[in-house]
């Protein structure tokens, strides 16, 4: 049971680490168009992101896929930027009109990219054969899922307070948060090691 808590906590901290806020920014971009009443859709999207993240770690553990860390570190803020720009484009439109299929596929893909960003570290902390890493991998994934739900609930609560008590329109809220995210990730993209080469 103690091993479970080690990897579960690692998953929690991976998302909730204040210095690794890229994960939180992506979740914020994913969540901002929705309200509490869309909780099923949000839970599906969050779980799809975890699925993609776990799939990337699985492929890395079995040496099926490897990618240079500077490329992944460049792609991660790109995924966040795309999600935020998508929100800006669709702001004001009903989320019921948009299909979850497109967003779902994109979310899995983005989860894979984010998972690849953690794969090198994950492989260094676990020794042994790839099959020995499967249980810790799923324990870690469970920690990620719980942490993501915490972030999403906090984001939905903040949106509720701002839109209800401060009388922000949903469209304005989406635009403000998405523009903030764009403003944070553009410097991350410009400061990427990929430009040094």
Task: Tell whether pTM > 0.75.
Answer: yes
Has residue 96 got a pLDDT over 60? no
Q: Which residue has the tokens 């570290």?
A: 121
Under 8 Å CB-to-CB from 47, ≥6 apart: which residues? 145
Q: Which residue has the tokens 């948060």?
A: 177
Largest CA distance in the chain: 55
The per-residue pLDDT for 51 is 95
Rounded Cα distance, 167 and 49, in Å: 31
Rounded Cα distance, 51 and 4, in Å: 19
Condensed to tens digits (0 to 9), the pLDDT of residues 97-125 reads: 556 687 888 899 999 999 998 888 888 88
Condensed to tens digits (0 to 9), the pLDDT of residues 41-90 reads: 999 999 999 999 999 999 988 888 888 888 998 999 999 999 999 999 98
Q: What is the per-residue DSSP string for 55-71?
A: HHHHHHHTTS----HHH
Condensed to tens digits (0 to 9), the pLDDT of residues 119-174 reads: 888 888 887 788 888 899 999 999 999 999 999 999 999 999 999 999 999 999 99
């Amino acid at each position: 049971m103690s091993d479970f808590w080690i990897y579960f906590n690692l998953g929690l901290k991976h998302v909730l680490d204040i210095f690794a806020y890229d994960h939180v920014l992506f979740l914020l971009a994913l969540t901002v168009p929705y309200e509490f009443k869309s909780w099923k859709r949000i839970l599906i999207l969050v779980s799809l992101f975890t699925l993609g993240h776990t799939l990337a770690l699985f492929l890395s553990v079995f040496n099926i896929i490897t990618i240079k860390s500077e490329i992944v570190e460049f792609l991660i803020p790109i995924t966040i930027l795309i999600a935020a720009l998508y929100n800006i484009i669709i702001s004001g439109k009903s989320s019921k009109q948009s299909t979850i299929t497109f967003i779902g596929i994109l979310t899995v893909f983005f989860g894979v990219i984010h998972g690849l960003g953690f794969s090198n570290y994950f492989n260094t902390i676990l020794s042994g054969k790839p099959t020995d890493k499967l249980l810790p991998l799923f324990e870690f994934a469970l920690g990620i899922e719980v942490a993501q739900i915490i972030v999403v609930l906090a984001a939905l609560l903040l949106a509720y307070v701002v839109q209800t008590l401060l009388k922000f329109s949903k469209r304005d809220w989406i635009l403000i948060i998405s523009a903030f995210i764009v403003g944070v990730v553009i410097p991350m993209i410009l400061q990427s090691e990929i430009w040094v080469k």
